[in-house]
Amino acid sequence: MVKRIKLRTLFIGGCITLFFLVLIGRVFWIQVLDRDFWQAYAAEKRAHTSVIKAERGTIEDRNGKVLASDVPAYTVVVNPEVIAERGIGEEVITGLHELLGKPENELKALVEAKDDKGKYLKNREIRNEGWKIDQELRDKVDEFIQKLRDEHDILETGVGVITEQKRYYPQQTLAAHILGYTDRDGNAVMGLEKYFDKQLKGTDGKLLYQSDGKGIKLPDSQDTYQPVVNGSNFKLTIDSTIQYYIEQAMQKAYDEYKPKSITVIAADPNTMEILGMANMPTFNPNEFWNYASDPGVFYNHAIKSRFEPGSTFKIVALAGAVEENLFDPDKTFMSGSIRIKGYSKPLYDQNRSGYGEITFLEGVKRSSNVAFVKLGYEMLGPDRLLQYVDDFGFNNVTGIDLPGEISGRVNPTPHNASENATIAYGHGKVEVTPIQQLTAISAIANGGKLMVPHVVKEVTDPNTGKTTVTQPQVVRQVISEESAKETGSYLEQVVADLDHGTGRHAYIEGYRVAGKTGTAIKPDGKGGYDRDKVLSSFLGYAPVNNPKIAVYIVIDEPADATGGGAAAGPVFKEIVSQSLEYMGVPKVADDNAEDDEKKTSATATKTAAAIRTAPDLTDKTAAAAREMLLKQGYNFETVGQGTSVISQYPEAGSMLSSGQKIFLITQQSDKPVIPDLSGQSLRDALEVLNLLKVGITVEGEGYVTEQKEEIKNGKTVVTLSLAPLNEYGEDIPVPPAVDETEGETAAE
């Protein structure tokens, strides 16, 4: 018995000893031989990275109206495990189907989702119908969740909403082809969003830290911080009011003529700042997914489409002939048709029987093809004509700061008489883009300078405060200033001659308008032309004596093959007349209306227009108020994302100074949206901020030059920096004072 006990003891002791030897060996293996591996593994488990999302930059128009910004968005999620436990699956499916419009069978798959082991999953996003929804729909989802709680006496329903960010375009379809859009994952797809994506999106920041097994940060954690770089903010040359006028006029023409598309571009010809650019049909970048069946709506014809321009291209031959002193407005020629050496067939005017023997000036007004063959092919000659085509930029891109621009193509076969002759009137081996056409007419309007068009006015880096301003850029002097003025005077008569001018439908009483019509018969794809399909256009600027705006309109296949003068001319007239009045450009008396009564009437009208009062907009919907102010040419800004106007400044009935801005307050919250108050007087700025119920700190005297927002004791405080203005409107530095207050191609 004793021997047996000793053997058992020895055996147990040996096992224990062996166990400890194995344990010590394993520890030695881990701590010594495998030390590097396990140290790296431990460091990896302890190390965590927290991503700090960069804010995507905002995009504003030239007056500070927000066109694109990041706003809160909400995604609906379901928890299949909780829903199954509560037994409310059918109610959840039916309720979310009614709210989100997602098919019930797809919702059922999400609500009843299980893993490979047959266990219910915990969280599933409802895409796409419940993904990044707006505040209004989120409120309805919250009401549905509360209804489930009340009816079933439960706290957790298995339905929830998580807060995210999304790109929002508050002006809806306005300037959609310029802005482009980002998809629901935040990836830039087209337009400025795509072209300047790197600058707009910034760089995410990172915080690297160490934690224990439960994820709690270690006291001695060695943190590494990579600061966030927020995206730059862009201010565009676009004027939202002019853009609105453009799109309204386009819509009328689109409804009337039912064309394939319409494109309009407007610019300041002196700087080539693009004031507006639009295509129709268009799209709403907030709902880009609704246009998947018609991807053509995303195409920006203004910079990506080339076509035979027809008679609008005649400005090149006219300008070249004037520059070379070859154009004699009083010299006559026989209209109707012309034969050129080396080509057996005659070239015709749009009216084949012609107008008899007429002057070259009348030929310009009637858009005679014969006149321009004589000017461009016979007088200038093919080589000089093509040189002017190149000088006006038609064989190169304009360099506009938008993605996807293509170049025109003007490449007649050398020594081919017909191809070189028809170039003079925009037919045959000539294709241009709308932006090239606008750039060319602007060169005539601004004194002969070909300039680079641009849509970005300035870029501000919020991380450094540095602002980079886009300066006007001259490519070359195409013709002299004197020749440009003379050419403009002939183009003015195309519009002003209400008997013979093809541009008479663009005539605007009180403004001198220069322009050129175009009606290009479209190729039929078989080497010929289809006279039932035309591309109608109008190209012009105003006022002739001091150009403020140049506009190009092109209508692709209007009904009944309506010509450029009749179809595009009225669109030009509507856009330019509204824009010039909005810009405050005074009208001039008609040369034929010299009597005192008309002068007195015009003066009275101008005086009455200058005295304006603020309309009553309180309690109107934000959309209705915006539309009313746009139509009447008021300068205004909407503050907040609310759906109705809760207050305004100045108050209804208040006298408005010239260009004074009306502020529409549509939202009040713990974190109010503060508008850009730059240039406002202290009184106006204080009134607006008091409506928003924020704290105010004032530094300096005069007008607002800078503003800064911060949170103090849970309340938003805005610091205004002021400076007086000298007689030239420039800031004058003053010692700061501090005060704190609460509160045809062939056809034409």
DSSP annotation string for 272-299: TEEEEEEEES---GGGGGGGTT-GGGG-
What pLDDT score was predicted for residue 741? 32
pLDDT-wise least confident of 162-171, 249-258, 641-650 = 641-650
What pLDDT score was predicted for residue 592? 41
What pLDDT score was predicted for residue 39? 65
Confidence tier at 718 by pLDDT (50, 70, 90): confident
Give the whole-angstrom CA distance, residue 427 versus residue 430: 6
Is 511's pLDDT higher than 50? yes
- 448 SS3 class: coil
Q: Residue range 717-721: average pLDDT?
A: 85
Per-residue pLDDT tens for 275-287? Answer: 999 999 999 999 8
Which one is predicted more confidently, 216 or 19? 19
CA atoms in the 13 A half-sphere facing the CB of 609:
16
Confidence tier at 629 by pLDDT (50, 70, 90): confident
Q: Over the chain, what is the mean pLDDT?
A: 84
Is 390's pLDDT higher than 90? yes
What pLDDT score was predicted for residue 432? 96
610-638 in b/e burial notation, b at 16+ Cβ within 10 A?
eebebbebeebebeebbeebbeebbebbb
What pLDDT score was predicted for residue 495? 95
What pLDDT score was predicted for residue 48? 57
Q: Residue range 391-401: average pLDDT?
A: 96
- Residue 192 makes CB contacts below 8 A (sequence gap 6+) with 59, 178, 179, 180, 234, 236, 402, 455, 456
What pLDDT score was predicted for residue 25? 78
pLDDT-wise least confident of 313-322, 461-470, 643-652, 721-730 = 721-730
Is 607's pLDDT higher than 50? no
Give the whole-angstrom CA distance, residue 257 versus residue 534: 12
Specify burial of residue 532 (Cβ count, 10 A radius: 0-12, 13-18, 19+): exposed
Q: Residue range 149-172: average pLDDT?
A: 88
Closest CA to 84 of 107, 115, 113: 113
Residue 684 CB neighbour total at 10 angstroms:
19
φ and ψ at 742, to 5 degrees? -95, 170
Q: Residue range 317-331: average pLDDT?
A: 95
- Residue 456 makes CB contacts below 8 A (sequence gap 6+) with 192, 196, 234, 235, 236, 237, 401, 470
Is 186's pLDDT higher than 50? yes
693-731 in b/e burial notation, b at 16+ Cβ within 10 A?
ebbbbbbbeebbbebeeeeeeeebbbbbbbbeeeeeeee
Which one is predicted more confidently, 220 or 297? 297
Q: Residue range 334-360: average pLDDT?
A: 90
φ and ψ at 716, to 5 degrees? -75, 130
Give the whole-angstrom CA distance, residue 685 versus residue 467: 23
Tokens of residue 21, six digits = 């030897």
What pLDDT score was predicted for residue 744? 36
- 240 SS3 class: helix
Q: Report the share of the chain in percent with pLDDT over 70.
A: 88
pLDDT-wise least confident of 499-503, 577-581, 621-625 = 621-625
Which one is predicted more confidently, 603 or 506? 506
Tokens of residue 677, six digits = 């108050």
Residue 1 CB neighbour total at 10 angstroms:
5
Is 264's pLDDT higher than 60? yes
Query: From the candidates 311, 335, 536, 579, which is the catalytic residue?
Result: 311
Q: Residue range 274-300: average pLDDT?
A: 93
Q: What is the dihedral of CA 133, 134, 138, 139, to 10 degrees?
A: -160
Closest CA to 746 of 492, 501, 530, 451: 530
Q: Residue range 712-739: average pLDDT?
A: 56
Per-residue pLDDT tens for 399-433? Answer: 999 999 999 999 999 889 999 999 999 999 999 99
Is 579's pLDDT higher than 90? yes
pLDDT-wise least confident of 268-272, 539-543, 637-641 = 637-641
Q: Residue range 677-693: average pLDDT?
A: 76
pLDDT-wise least confident of 113-117, 569-573, 626-630 = 626-630
- DSSP H or E stretch at residue 200: helix 197-201
Q: Residue range 1-7: average pLDDT?
A: 76
Closest CA to 320 of 387, 256, 368, 254: 387
What pLDDT score was predicted for residue 745? 37
Is 715's pLDDT higher than 80? no
φ and ψ at 532, to 5 degrees? -90, -5
Is 732's pLDDT higher than 60? no
| Full-model pTM | 0.72
What pLDDT score was predicted for residue 363? 95
Specify burial of residue 221 (Cβ count, 10 A radius: 0-12, 13-18, 19+): middle
Please report where in the chains the tokens 């129709």 appear, as a residue. Answer: 280
CA atoms in the 13 A half-sphere facing the CB of 580:
26
Most confident of 25-29, 105-109, 202-206: 105-109
Most confident of 80-89, 236-245, 651-660: 236-245
Contacts 24+ apart (CB under 8 A), 667-672: 667/639, 667/640, 667/641, 667/642, 668/640, 668/692, 668/693, 669/640, 671/716, 672/639, 672/640, 672/716
Is 159's pLDDT higher than 50? yes
What pLDDT score was predicted for residue 421? 94
Give the whole-angstrom CA distance, residue 653 versus residue 313: 50
Is 638's pLDDT higher than 90? no
Q: Residue range 556-576: average pLDDT?
A: 93
pLDDT-wise least confident of 235-244, 331-340, 345-354 = 345-354
- DSSP H or E stretch at residue 236: strand 233-236
Q: How far apart are the first and last CA of the chain?
A: 127
Please report where in the chains the tokens 């008569």 appear, as a residue. Answer: 493
What pLDDT score was predicted for residue 225? 63
DSSP at 676:
P
Confidence tier at 208 by pLDDT (50, 70, 90): low
DSSP at 746:
S
Q: Residue range 70-95: average pLDDT?
A: 88
- Residue 656 makes CB contacts below 8 A (sequence gap 6+) with 612, 613, 614, 634, 650, 662
Is 742's pLDDT higher than 70? no
pLDDT-wise least confident of 37-51, 518-532, 635-649 = 37-51
Q: Residue range 372-393: average pLDDT?
A: 95
Confidence tier at 477 by pLDDT (50, 70, 90): very high
Per-residue pLDDT tens for 109-128? Answer: 888 888 888 888 888 888 88
- DSSP H or E stretch at residue 13: helix 2-28
Is 729's pLDDT higher than 60? no
What pLDDT score was predicted for residue 606? 41
What pLDDT score was predicted for residue 1? 72
* Catalytic residue status for 311: yes
Is 218's pLDDT higher than 60? no
- Residue 735 makes CB contacts below 8 A (sequence gap 6+) with none
Confidence tier at 738 by pLDDT (50, 70, 90): very low
**How does strand 715-723 pair with strand 695-699?**
parallel
